Structure formats: structure tokens, C-alpha cells
Amino acid sequence: MSCEISRRAFFAASSAVVLSAKGGPIRVGCQTNGFALKAGDFPALLKALEDMKALGYTGFECNYRFVESVFDRAAAARRQIERTGVTFIGAHASMTQVGGAQGARIAAGVAALGADCIVMSGRGLSPEGRFERAAQLEKARAIESIARMLRDHRLRLAYHNHNPEFANHNAEINGLAENTDPGLVSFLMDAGHGYLGGGDPAAFMAGHSARIYGIHLKTFRGKQVSGQVPLGQGDFGFEALAGAAKKTGWSGWLITEEGGGPRAGNTAALGPDRAYIRKVFGA
């Protein structure tokens, strides 16, 4: 019991440190899924960054595969990225990828290119959000282990959810927040998947704002990912989330994630998405 109390006290203290470090304006970024890019075509990525900047985005996130081809000349490639004026927020990788044999190589390459984090997605424990506590703790420890490796490369870990983590009243995502070290594990909350999973991203913001590094914004018509539409045109909006962010004083990255799958390269939505974010979040 004393060990558990000590652990909770440590996490509470760490959360206070994280929260005290917050402040400043919300920043707005763009996931490169909105562009029809091919892995290995670095010049096309640079052009996409220029287009993002023209639309009012100040940061970008991409799958690590889109920068992997320049790992062996990272210093020069980093300078090219920096010249666009668009911040490299982070590279997306799955828990299997970054936690596997290639994890250290991915981390080293991404860090050398100037990214701040790895956006890591994992598998939800249950589509219905019902699982054993032992499974929750095992996943939490695995995430922390990867986070320590990333910290060695001066990268933070931002855990990215899909639908299951928000099922059953945010059950899994709340459990991950409560059972991981705030000094190691942050969250890239995918609010679109959160709503699609039947959860409440605004409630997670209200309870864990200090842990939220960034937010993916996307919306849908219907219950399928294939029903993605531009922000403001879906079955749900983000007014409640924006209200919670304002109330908690949250500052982090708002990232439009337009595209993916059959919608990859939906650049026409990026301008309206930026206008929606400005209107709803004031950012």
C-alpha cells in the first residue's frame, strides 16, 4: 500500500511540474496526410511545408517513413526543414515499430531532424473499453519503457489514441494517464477518434490538460473513418473541447489530420480547416 501511495504522490508532483510549465499561445499544425506524398520524396515534403505555411500552419507532423530517406544526411535535411519556417512537431510511428528492433534507429533519425516527439499509436485493449487492470498496467509499463528510450534521444513520447481508448467513458485513456509517469508520457489526443469511439475528449482535457501535448482534429459523417469530412461539416464539432481548453489554460499543438486512407491528399480541406480552428479555438 505504501508503495502505491508513494507512486501516486510522485505522479501528482510530476503533474504539478508539467502544469506549471504550461502557458503561451496554442499553436496550429498540419499532418502531412493532407498531401499526396510518397515515402522517400523529400523535396515534395518540403514543398508541402511551404504550402502549409502559406495556409497559416506553423508546425507539421508526418509518419516517420516520409523522412526516413534523409536519416543518413539529417543535418542538411534539418536545415532545409528549418528554412521553411514550419516546426517539426513529431513523427508518427506505431508502438510495434518504435518499440521494436528499429526503434532506436527511428528515434535517432527523427531527433537528428529536429523533431520534438514521437507520436506513438498503440492497439486499444478492447473495442468496448472493458479490460483487466493487469492488461492496463502491462501496457502502461511498456509505454514507459519506450518513453525512456526516446528520452535518451531527447524526444518526448506522445501517445496517440484510436477509438477504443475512449470507449466506455474514456476508460482506457484515463487509465493510461493515471498509471504512467507524467515526466515520461504525454498524449497526442485524437479528438476525432475519441468522439467516434463514443468518448468525451473535452472531459479528458478537463482532467488531464497538463498531459496533452497536442490534439488531432478531424470529424466524420456516420460511424466510419471513411466518412471523414472537413472540420465543421461532420456529425460533431469541437466547441466543447475548445471550451475545456480555454478553461484549463491549455496550450499545445492543434493539428488538423485531413486525409489518410482513401482521403489522402485532401489539400482542398486544409484552408477551411484552418479557418474553423481560428473560429472555434481562437488560434
CATH number of 179's domain: 3.20.20.150
Asked, for residue 77, whether it belongs to a domain, the answer is yes
Q: How far apart are CA 188 and CA 216, in angstroms?
A: 7
As for how many domains the chain has, the answer is: 1
Q: Assess if residue 175 is contained within a domain.
A: yes
Q: Give the domain extent around 50.
A: 25-281
Task: Please report the pLDDT score of residue 21 as a whole number.
Answer: 39
Note whether residue 115 is domain-resident: yes
Query: How far is it, in rounded angstroms, from Cα 54 to Cα 50?
Result: 6
Q: What is the pLDDT, as a whole number, of residue 264? A: 61
Phi, psi values for residue 29, rounded to 5°: -120, 180
Helices 133-152 and 103-112: crossing angle in degrees, nearest 10, is: 50
- CA of residue 111 relative to chain centroid, distance: 16
Adjacent-strand bridge partners of 27? 253
Residue 16 resides in a domain:
no
Q: What 3-state DSSP class applies to 206? A: helix
For residue 253, list its beta bridge partners: 27, 214
On whether the pTM is more than 0.85, the answer is yes
The reported pLDDT for the residue numbered 267 is 87
276: left (phi over 0), alpha (psi -120 to 50) or beta: alpha
Q: Which of 233, 225, 234 is nearest to 264 (CA)?
A: 225
> Which CA distances in Å does 42 have to 69, 79, 116, 176?
8, 13, 19, 35
Residue 19 resides in a domain: no
In angstroms and rounded to an integer, the radius of gyration of the C-alpha atoms of the chain is 18
Residue 1 in any domain: the answer is no
80 falls within a domain: yes
18 assigned to some structural domain: no
- Distance from chain centroid for Cα 17: 21
Block residue for cell numbers 484510436: 162
Instruction: Report pLDDT for 1.
Output: 37
Which cell numbers in the block locate residue 155?
524526444
Local structure of 263: helix, strand or coil: helix
**C-alpha span between 101 and 195 (Å, rounded):** 34
pLDDT at site 161: 98
Phi, psi at residue 46, to the nearest 5°? Answer: -60, -40
pLDDT confidence of residue 106? 98
Please enumerate in sequence order all residues whose Cβ is within 8 A of that of 96, keeping only pairs 6 or more positions apart, or say none: none
Low-confidence ranges of the chain (pLDDT < 70): 1-23, 260-265
d(CA 246, CA 184): 25
Residue 112 has phi, psi (to 5 degrees) of -65, -25
Measure the CA–CA gap between 280 and 232, rounded to whole angstroms.
Answer: 10
